[in-house]
Amino acid sequence: MYRNFFVMGLSVLLATQPEVGCAAAGEDLEGGPSRRAVAMILEAEKTPSYQISFATRLANTGTIENLEKAIEILSPLAEAGHADAKRNFPKAQNRLAVVLANTGTIENFQKAIEIFSPLAAAGDVYAKTNLPRVQCDLVYKLADAGGIENFEKAMEILSVLAAAEHADAEINLPAAQNELAVALVETSSIENLEKAIEILTPLATAGHADAKRNFPKAQNRLAVVLANTGTIENLEKAIGILTPLATAGHAEAQRDLPKVQFGLAVVLANTGTIENLERAIEILTPLVEAGDAAARSNLLQIQLVRALLMAHTTGAASGGLDMDAVD
């Protein structure tokens, strides 16, 4: 390692300060460089010309580690206004971004984008050309990885590119949105199902085939999850979702709607109020007419309970039942 430092330093010194470099080379003894030779290189390291040349040679090795070192060296020199540093600094950044992207990992794609973005914003032609390419590559990588977080990132990137009228992004954005919606539906959480429906609605309206197929599935799934909470409010919401789907001929909704209606009727009846018993009877009556045996059994029981409650309420209002009249 000591020897490598000397060789690299000497080559830079010969290129930037030939006379000093030759003197240092003369101190390269058989057993290795002398202290004087090393001291000469260390002294030369303080000069901008040496640092810029050294950074350029590091960058030319093409490794991530050396490119990062080169950028670290060039950054303060470029800020200080050194012309060569100002020219080589963005080149090193661009090269590092490309090398990072070529590793093909999500993490390094993201690092490459972080490097390219300010360069592209500053008008760097190379960065402006390569930034959208790396962004699209990252989108494909995120999609392959799957998961809600990755699909959200992919959609965010594609949205920016589509807004900039990037052709591939405009084509791929609806597909990414649909994939995100599918991933959200698979979680079966109410919040995520509502997000999925929010995403799918404009896509289905615009005629996107996959979205048109997945939209009613997401709605039906939301209705079932809402119904499974067992609350009157959510059961009513579920019926509100399933009714138009069933009317439109959606098979799953036609299957699930009577189950949810029956569930709501049972929950209402269990509250024991006359008002809710009457609502339960109203819900169960058409189910009975459609031949639902379970609905028929429950309807009779609920009607009986309602009748007893009504009789009790009427008796209480009139001062109680006349027990002497009972045989």
| pLDDT tens per residue across span 188-213 | 899 999 999 999 999 999 999 999 99
Residue 293 counted as domain residue: yes
Range of the domain at 307: 251-314
One-letter amino acid at 132 equals: P
Q: Based on C-alpha coordinates, what's the Rg of the chain?
A: 37
| 8 A C-beta contact, residue 30 and residue 64 | no
Instruction: Give the number of residues written for the chain.
Output: 327
Q: Give one DSSP letter per residue of 188-242, joined into a string.
A: T-HHHHHHHHHHHHHHHHTT-HHHHHHHHHHHHHHHHHHHHT--HHHHHHHHHHH
Fill in the DSSP letter of residue 5. H
pTM of this prediction exceeds 0.75 = no
Residue 276 counted as domain residue: yes
Residue 268 counted as domain residue: yes
| Token couple for 25 | 């080379």
Alpha helices in the chain (DSSP H): 2-16, 18-26, 35-44, 48-60, 64-79, 83-102, 106-121, 125-145, 148-163, 167-187, 190-205, 209-228, 232-247, 251-271, 274-289, 293-317
Query: What is the rounded average pLDDT of the residues 7-14?
Result: 52
The pLDDT score that the predictor gives to residue 225 is: 97
Our CA angle for 50, 54, 56, nearest 5°, is 120
Residue 157 counted as domain residue: no
Residue 279 counted as domain residue: yes
Number of domains present in the structure of the chain? 1
**pLDDT single digits (tens) 166-195:** 877 878 888 888 989 999 999 889 999 999
Compute φ and ψ for 43, nearest 5 degrees. Answer: -65, -40
Cα 75 from Cα 226, distance rounded (Å): 57
Residue 272 counted as domain residue: yes
Cα 274 from Cα 311, distance rounded (Å): 11
Residue 86 counted as domain residue: no
Residue 204 counted as domain residue: no
